[in-house]
Every structure is written in C-alpha cells, then in structure tokens.
Chain A
Amino acid sequence: MGQGNCGQWRRGIDMPAPDLLADLARLPGSSRTIGGTVVERSLTPSRFSRALFRRMPEIYPTLIYAVEPQPFTDWLEGIGLANQLTTTFATNSSFLTGTSSVTEIVTNYSTGIFSATVPPLGSFSTMLSTSHMEPPNILATSVSVPLSGIGASLEVFTPMSVLRRSALSILSQGEHEDIDFGAVSMFSRGVSSFIAREGVRAVYALIETLRAKPPSFTVLGELLRELGRLPHKPSHDLRKKLLLQYLQSSSVLVRHVAATGLAELDDPSAISALEDAYRQVDSGRLKRHIMRVLQQLRGTAGCLAS
C-alpha cells in the first residue's frame, strides 16, 4: 500500500475532513508497503507539518476540541494517553456521536506525535501518524521519521517517558557489561531490539538520553557502532545525522567511533562530511582511520553507480 491507498481509504468511508489525509499524503517523503495493511511512509516533520498542525482549526472548522466528553477520555485512558495529550481535536459529526465514520485528529505536544485515525474500517482500524517533535539540540536540521498506518495497534504511542527510561536502562546495562571483542553483547542486543520494537522514536529516546546523561566513552563507542550496523531503514537518516553530529565532536576519540559508525552504515552520502573531518585533523590515528572509512564509502559509491 502506498499513497494510493490513502485515497482508497478516503473513498471507502464518509470522512468529515478528508482533506486532512490528503494534506498528510502530500507531505514530503517516500512510501513503502509492509504486509497487506500497513503502510510506512517516511516524511520530514518540517515546518510544513508543524504549520499544518497549527492551522488545523482554521483549515478544518468542523473540528472541535474533544478532551471533555467522557467516552473520549475513557478511550484515551484505555490506550494510555490520557495524561499526555495537551490538545485533542475530533470531528463534530462523527466521533462524539459514536458512528463508524469517524475522523479523530490527536495531537500530542509532549511526545511530538500527531495522528489522524479512521476507526473502524471493515475489520481493522487505520491510523496515520507523524511526528512533529522538534529535533533535539544535537540535531540542527530536520530529520525523517516514519508515517505509519497500523491496523488497530497503538504501540506507536508508547510514551516518550517510557522510551527514555528504556534507553537509560540499556545504556546503564552497557556500563556494567564487560563487552568482549567481536561478541554479541547484551548491550548490542538491547539496542537493536529496542529500535526494532519502537522504531524511530527509540532512536530519539536514545538521543535525548545521550544528551541528558552522556555514557562512558566505551559505551558510546559500542553504541555508535551498533547504530551504524542496524538494518533498520526508517531510522537510517536519523542515525546517520546522529553519527555526523558526533563526527564534529571536539574529542578525537568520539570522532573516531563516529567514523566507525559511519563505516558500518556504509552510506556514501556521508563522504563530504568525512572529507571535512579529514581536513580538520593534522595527523595521527584519527586521520588514518577517517581515510580508511572514506576509501570504503567511495568504493560503495562506485558500486552503486555501476
């Protein structure tokens, strides 16, 4: 399913504010299919989505605030969102009257989740979500996050506070583990399963935790290697941006492991940043290391070009 399926959903139900989904579908990004009912769409939560968000009541005058009605707050409680939502909209004609042609637009400033949900459609509900979370300070520019359509599942809404606690726990585990060279450690398993389970938001949680409580250099080194080698496409760009940020560290050791992570990522789009980093080092191990990484990525670029 891709963007075309968004249109199909619109045609299949009586949706009071269909243009919203159309606007969502127009957000920049790429789509891919996961199974039969799940669409994953990468987009950039740039000014576009944030501006759309702020103008919601103006663009969709039929939307009303919907935090008051008891059925809605019960529903929020049931999915664990009641304490997080700061602003909630629903359509005037549908959700509150309990009909099946419902569009709800849920905004959550604290976790950065913005979703439009269309339940139920046949035997499953669909949900589109995107994040408008401000990138952490370490990320100066906008980042890509997935836009997911998930049948009935609301796991995407695992609260960020919970994710941050998980991230902290994983990093603490790394501090207490004597990681053998070339072994699959509990730490590396923890990082990879965390991201596989929670997706891009797990990477955000790790970034926030790294900023709040920097780990030892040893753990950071293992983490950046792991972030580089994970085969998780939706978070690829975010992980790359994180590695590139660390490549600009004042510490030669941190730059070293960031370059190692970029070698694991093997993305030729990091070449120019690595060339800059190479020029900024006079001599020594770091310069040689970056050159090796550059040689690998240039080779990869050559392979891709051919």
Chain B
Amino acid sequence: MPKPDMPAEYAFPDSAAKSRRGELDTERMSISMGPSHPSTHGVLRLQMELDGEVVRKAEPVIGYLHRGDEKIAENMTYNQFVPYTDRLDYLAPLANNMAYAIAVERLAKLEVPPRCQAIRVITAEMARISAHLLGLGAFGIDVGAWTVFLYSFAEREKLYKLFEELTGARFTTSYTRIGGVARDVPEGWTSRVDAFCEQFLPRLEETLSLLTRSRIFVDRTAGIGVISKEDAIAYGLTGPNLRASGVPLDLRKDKPYSGYEQYDFDVPVGTKGDGYDRYLVRGEEMRQSARIIRQAVAKFPGGSWHAEDARRITKPSKDRVLTSMEELIQNFMIVTEGPQMPAGEVYFEAENPKGALGFYIVSKGGGVPWRLKIRAPSFCNLSILPKVCVGAMVADIVSILGSLDFVMGECDR
C-alpha cells in the first residue's frame, strides 16, 4: 500500500524529511495535466496542487470537446440525430445508437419485433466487448503494458470487420433507426459472430493473464483510487465503476429492455472499489457479454427487423415505396419531417459499457424534439475525481484515470 506521507526519521539529510522537521520552506506546486496528455484518455485537464508527490487538490476541467450536441438535437429530426449519438461514447457506438432508439421509441410507446431486439442486443454486447478491450488496452499502456494494447486491438479489428459487414462502417455505425435498425443482418453474419466469440474467449484469457497476476499491475492498481459504496451512489456513478464498489446494479438485469430478460448472464460485483476491482469487473463483463451473444445467436428469431405498420414513424419497405403512392408519401414525410412523435416527456437509461447512458426527451409533437438531454455516464464518473485523487501520489493519478475508464466525447457532448 503506498504511504502518502514521507517518513521523517531518515538517517541521511533528505529534503522531504527536512521539510517535515520544519527546516525547509515548502509550498504547494500547481500542476496542470492536460488537455493534451497521453494518459488523460482524451481532452481532460486536471489542475492539481501538489505537496511534494502527494496530491492535495485536484480540479478537473472539462468542456474541451463540448460540441453542442444537445442544441443540435433541437434542430434535427429524430433519425437525423442518430450519427451524433455514435460519437458520444465513441468506443461503443452501437450501444449508444440502441439507447437513443429505445428512448425515442418509449415516447411513441412503440414495441419493436423480437428479431430487431435480438440484433440490437448482439450489437450492443459486441460494442461492450470492443469498449472494454480498448479501455483495457489504454489502461495497460498507461501503467506500462504495451502488449496488452496490441492484443486488444487485434481482437477489436475482428469486431470492426463484423461491424463493417453489418453496417458499412468500421466504428461510427449509425445503425439503429426509430422503430428498428437500418438493415437486416447479412447472410451468415450471425454464425461469423458466433465463431468470433468462440475464438475470443481463449484470447481474452491470454490477454487478461498478462495483467491479472502481474506484480507490477497489481501494485499499481490494488488499493489505488478506492471509492466507497456510499460515495459511488452519492456521486451518481454507474456501470462497472459502481459495481466494483459493491453495488449490484445493472440495468440489463434490474430494468431489462430490448429482450435482455431472456438471456442468462451474471453480473460481476466487486468488493473493495479500487482500480484492481474495476479492472476485474470489466474483464468478467467481457466474458459475460460473449455468453449473451452466443445465446442470442442460438435463439435468433426470424421476422422483421423493424416495426411494421408504425405509421409516420418507420419507413415502409422499399418495394412498396417504389410502387404504391401512399407508401411513397409516407416515406417522403418521414424523411423530410421526421418520425412524428406524440407530445410528452420520457427518460430512459440503458446500461452502456461506461455506465448508464440516459436520454431525457421533451417533445411537443412533431419530428423534432423540444429538448434532448443526454445523461452521460462519464460526466458523473468524472465528478468523483476531486474526491478520489486527494491523497494519491501523482503517478497514481494516471492509474486512477485509467481505471475509471471514461470517454470525453460522452462527458462533454
């Protein structure tokens, strides 16, 4: 366990010991880490006051990636906003797409057919594996393990290939639409996904084995950045960070959506709330995600991939559009005016890899929302930094940031 205070009884004259004994004048040093820094995982600026090596005060400055998404949403139809949701948590775009689509569908009280739900679950869990792999890789680099980064990127490239086959894009997919998904799965895609999961599990064990019992990694993460259960709830932490602190909350199990209740999976919960627990929770979540994907592929239902007969919300099928006047008009109205939603308010949170991504939509009717608030898990996860960094050493800050695994695209929107 690191001792933040230097011992005063050194045999040789040491400046730290001298300052303790009051022989040396010291003052706190202000240091600004970021916004361009290899270890801040994006554009986060951390203003710290140091007393020697120990951080006495840490003030995160965010907003360096604030792009105005919420204002843009007030000027776009519901389907036009989908590409912007990709770029919130840009490590798992498919999961954001799904969360947004379900939130808007709650406005219209629209139920999507089982095949669409299964597709969304499979893609969201693949996105979860992709996001956790990158978090692991970045965490590895920060604490000095370059191999982990390369191994996890190799697996991610396989996932990218599958995403590209399904959606056309490697990672910013814009795949869901209100009332369904953009297109059906290609032939044989689900068996390729299953084959990926099968070869992924042993590779995952190999990658994790590089870190789990590595003395260096354990020393750098065990006992670092401890977040207590009460603090985690008080600061609104969600996702793996909350579960590592001992709160067994997982929205997929506790408030299931999109058919998650039919799948059998476990939710890993930590005990100590330190960086090592967060790492273990994420590793286990990847195994459980692979389990969910295999079940979903085995049960993959037939049927339509979008809600049929959802007038003024989902587009009719293309062959009808090109031959029948009424369907043509419907298609035109939906594209130009947007899916027509009733007036009202909804709030929906989905269990994203980083935590609970919430969408609060205020609609006054029509195809454009009046207000769209994105409740970003990384925003809440970062708000605990001023508390958790105090008393840590400067080198541990890097480890804490890596273990919290946040994304600035989502935090700043």
Chains A and B form a bound pair:
no
- A interface residues (Cβ-Cβ under 8 A, vs B): none
